[in-house]
Amino acid sequence: MSLAALLAGCATTRHREPPAAFRLPPLPKGLGSIHNAVPRFLPRAPSGNPPSYEVDGKRYYVRATAKGYEATGVASWYGPTFNGLRTADGDRYDMYAMTAAHKTLPLPCFVRVTDLGNGRSVIVKINDRGPFVANRLIDLSYAAAAKLGMLETGTALVEVRAITPGNPDVLTRVAERPPPVLYVQVGAFAVHRNADRVLARLQAAGLPSAFVLGPPETRSRLYRVRVGPVSGVPEFDRLVARLTALGYPGARLVAP
């Protein structure tokens, strides 16, 4: 099957966040008994893993491995509209299973998703492609979103970290933790004056909360230009749109 046909048939072709008037489907009575996905070694799926693919004119490059993957960004969720449809790796989408969609992680793999607002975590199996909406990082199943407490809002700021099956790891522990302070990183520069130049432009454009974070001694010596802190998804979306208009389309969410 061609990639275009694959994406046309999979559950994540056009994930959209629920509209304000959307009525949530009922939660299963046994939501508390729906357990986290159990990380295990699985063969790379024969479908959904091309070297790269294109959606709406943008090309995505599938990672060779999930090992070491860590990112912060916006999570959304998808539910009854897609229930029962084929996912990119050939599974049937089950809105009450602990799964998720990601644009570039290999299928299947396992990640821990932590809501950075309330500290809750879930472990899900990545078996689908998406979300291809705005600057979203991951699309969670209905059950996973319910466990994180983000059904009503539709989105949440999250941390996504890959789990390597078979390795004892604190990533499999999903206890709540205090929320971190979050920022939008505009860029990282080896030369201080280049960072200062970007900072001056951002402040002149009306972003007084922009600043330069100097390199810590124990890490790579880069000067990071950041804006924030960021209070939530709406502010993050506004900042990313503003920075893109200013010529900085690679802005991303980071924690200190």
Whether 168 and 189 share a structural domain: no
> Does residue 135 register a pLDDT over 60?
yes
CA dist 188 → 211, 215, 245 (Å) = 12, 10, 19
Whether 127 and 193 share a structural domain: no
Query: Do the beta carbons of residue 43 and residue 89 sit within 8 Å?
Result: no
For position 72, which CATH number holds? Answer: 2.40.40.10
Among 220, 221, 195, 222, which Cα is nearest to 210's?
A: 195
Whether 77 and 167 share a structural domain: yes
The parent domain of residue 246 ranges over 183-254
Q: In percent, how much of the chain has pLDDT > 90?
A: 73
Report the pLDDT value the prediction gives residue 156, as an integer from 0 to 100: 96
Whether 155 and 226 share a structural domain: no
Q: Mean pLDDT of all residues in the chain?
A: 87
Whether 167 and 208 share a structural domain: no
Whether 201 and 167 share a structural domain: no
Among 116, 144, 117, 112, which Cα is nearest to 31's?
A: 144
- What mean pLDDT comes out for the span 247-252? 93
For position 203, which CATH number holds? Answer: 3.30.70.1070
The confidence band for 208, taking pLDDT boundaries of 50, 70 and 90, is very high
Residue 178 lies in a domain: no
> Does residue 216 register a pLDDT over 80?
no
Residue that is last in its domain, among 138, 172, 206: 172
Whether 146 and 192 share a structural domain: no
- What mean pLDDT comes out for the span 156-177? 74
Report the pLDDT value the prediction gives residue 238, as an integer from 0 to 100: 95
Helices within the chain (DSSP H only): 3-9, 142-148, 192-204, 233-245
Residue 17, C-beta contacts closer than 8 angstroms, at least 6 positions apart? 76, 133, 154, 155
The confidence band for 164, taking pLDDT boundaries of 50, 70 and 90, is confident
Residue 63, C-beta contacts closer than 8 angstroms, at least 6 positions apart? 69, 104, 105, 106
- Highest mean pLDDT among 78-82, 151-155, 200-204 belongs to 200-204
> Does residue 20 register a pLDDT over 90?
no
Residue 209 lies in a domain: yes
Whether 129 and 221 share a structural domain: no
* Domains of the chain: total: 2
Residue that is last in its domain, among 147, 172, 197: 172
> Does residue 247 register a pLDDT over 90?
yes
- What mean pLDDT comes out for the span 118-130? 95
Residue 151 lies in a domain: yes
> Does residue 107 register a pLDDT over 50?
yes
> Does residue 8 register a pLDDT over 50?
no
